[in-house]
Amino acid sequence: MGLAVDSASEVEESGYNRARRFTPMTSDIDLEMLMARYQQGDLAAANSLIRSVSPRLYRFFVIQFSSREHADDLLQELWLRIHKARHTYRPGEPVLPWLYAIARNIRVDHFRKSSRTTGHEQPLDETPEAETVAAKEPDRIPSLDVLLAPLPESQREVITMLKVEGMSLEEVARATSSSIGSVKQKAHRGYEKLRVRLTMLGLGKGPLGELP
Amino acid sequence: MNEKNMDEFLKQAAHNPEAVSPALLDRIAASLGNSMPAVRPLPSSWVLEIGIILIAVAIAIAGAAEAGFFGVLKLNSFERMLIFPALAILIFLAASAWVSENIPGSKRLFTPGMLLGVSIFGLLAIFGVLFRNYQTDRFLSAGLICLGFGLLHAIPTALLGWLVLRRGFAVNAVASGLVGGTLAGLAGVAMLELHCPNFQALHVLIWHTAVIPVSAAGGAVLAWVISRHPTSQPPN
């Protein structure tokens, strides 16, 4: 078990924590302050805000579309829309639900457009299946977009906001225009599916050690 | 595997080796930097809600004043005490929901469909309890006149309400249109209750209440059409 714990710590250091260190993480209060200054026309605040929250929003798009090319385009489009709608943020309100509500809107628009234009096409699957990743490198945890890919869109976005971004239930409910009960239900169902999937992939015995 | 393990697993999987490129962030910052005027944030939700409620009430009263307050004069005190407070509560809820639909990340008490359902079935229940005259004189012609009259008052309510909310940003235009249409329909029903002296149960149940779904559907369709227009953008 000691080995397992060491191994887990190593992965944590090389993975999530390192990502956190490289990604500018800003507290909610800082974000609110930056947003208020952005509304006042402060270019430096706008720059800081872009660099603080873009990695999160980018990851949101990557998880939803499993495509980094799409995520690049959508992130640019999102900031244009945020810029146009920046007056609709009210100082003192949480920033993340406001941002994610607009990001969801971009995602839905994009989905509608792409389903109209590519409705009859059979795109090649560019994303490696979690099964392939697990078979090739049993010690490596698949990336989040691969791991969550089989979940329905609504469960994927709720799990991303709740478990990865650390938003509260109420913030997720605001961002997704739904009730707290509905968010809980989607998260629970998503987690159940994910649990089965991880167990099937044998990832419970991964670098974290034997999971109960 | 328990939830704690799963949380930990997700955190590790969230490590994104292909992070957003600095060049992309520079491009975004440069594109926004071209126009960075200060903007005035939207007023508080309650200010917008009061504005919309006042519009709905004013149009209902003005319409009834023009056509005559025959309905409210014919109602007894008990009927007035049930119908008008119920309409006031529904108009308040609809105004609150409409404001929420136009501000991203707002707290929502009702989904648009739930609001529409509560409005229709709530009023049906009240009208069903109060009106027991099941005669049907001039059912179609009188009904169509009331439906048209209700919608005639719903349209300006929706337009003026939209003027109040025009600086908002509806993340779901169809939902916003549906809620706006529901509110406008409620204003139309309020006007009919003040004006229409026809208390035949089927007339009130069908034709008066029909103003709400027709108006809501109109609002949703109109919002859908506008949202598909490429130049539909929120003004700063």
Task: Give pLDDT tens digits for B111-120.
Answer: 999 999 999 9
Q: Can you give the length of chain A in residues?
A: 212
DSSP A154-201: HHHHHHIIIIIS---HHHHHHHTTS-HHHHHHHHHHHHHHHHHHHHHH
Pair of tokens at residue B87: 């309409």
CA distance B12 to chain A (A): 5
Q: Is the pLDDT of residue A20 over 50?
A: no
For residues B221 and B219, give the distance between their C-alpha atoms in angstroms, rounded to a whole number.
Answer: 6
Mean local confidence (pLDDT), A76-95: 91
Question: Tens digits of per-residue pLDDT, A109-135?
Answer: 887 777 666 655 555 444 455 555 555
A179 burial type by CB count under 10 A (0-12 exposed, 13-18 middle, 19+ buried): middle
Dihedral, CA of residue A27, residue A29, residue A31 and residue A36, to nearest 10: -170
Q: Mutate which of A37, A47, A65, A88 to test chain B, going by most B C-beta atoms within 10 A?
A: A88
CA distance A80 to chain B (A): 7
Pair of tokens at residue A37: 């200054």
Amino acid B102: pLDDT = 94
- Give me the helices (H) in B102-204, please: 112-130, 139-165, 173-195, 201-202
Amino acid A18: pLDDT = 35
For residues B38 and A63, give the distance between their C-alpha atoms in angstroms, rounded to a whole number.
Answer: 34
For residues B57 and B60, give the distance between their C-alpha atoms in angstroms, rounded to a whole number.
Answer: 5
Q: How confident is the model at residue B148 (pLDDT cuts 50, 70, 90)?
A: very high
Residue A40: DSSP 8-state? T
Q: Is B66 on the interface with A (CB under 8 A)?
A: no
Mean local confidence (pLDDT), A162-188: 90
Q: Is the pLDDT of residue B67 over 90?
A: yes
Q: How confident is the model at residue B202 (pLDDT cuts 50, 70, 90)?
A: very high
Q: What is the mean pLDDT of chain A?
A: 75
Sort out which chain A residues have CB atoms less than 8 A from B48's CB and list them: none
**Which has more pLDDT, B217 or A111?**
B217
Mean local confidence (pLDDT), B43-62: 96
Amino acid A121: pLDDT = 55
Amino acid A59: pLDDT = 86
**Which has more pLDDT, A64 or B95?**
B95
Are the Cβ atoms of A19 and B171 closer than 8 angstroms? no
Q: Amino acid identity, residue A105?
A: N
Q: Is the pLDDT of residue A5 over 50?
A: no
Pair of tokens at residue A123: 């795109």
Amino acid B45: pLDDT = 92
Amino acid A139: pLDDT = 58
Q: Among A15, A4, A89, which Cα is nearest to A46's?
A: A89
For residues B18 and B227, give the distance between their C-alpha atoms in angstroms, rounded to a whole number.
Answer: 34
ipTM here: 0.82
Amino acid A164: pLDDT = 83
Q: Chain B window 82-141: which residues touch A at a Cβ cutoff of 8 Å?
A: 102-108, 111
Q: Chain B window 207-236: which residues touch A at a Cβ cutoff of 8 Å?
A: 233-234, 236
CA distance B162 to chain A (A): 15
Contact (Cβ atoms closer than 8 angstroms) between residue A95 and residue A89: yes
**Which has more pLDDT, A198 or B99?**
B99
**Chain A, nearest residue to B15 by Cα:** A16
**Chain A, nearest residue to B45 by Cα:** A90
Question: Under DSSP, is residue B133 helix (H, G, I), strand (E, B) or coil?
Answer: strand
Q: Among B106, B158, B92, B26, which Cα is nearest to A85's?
A: B106
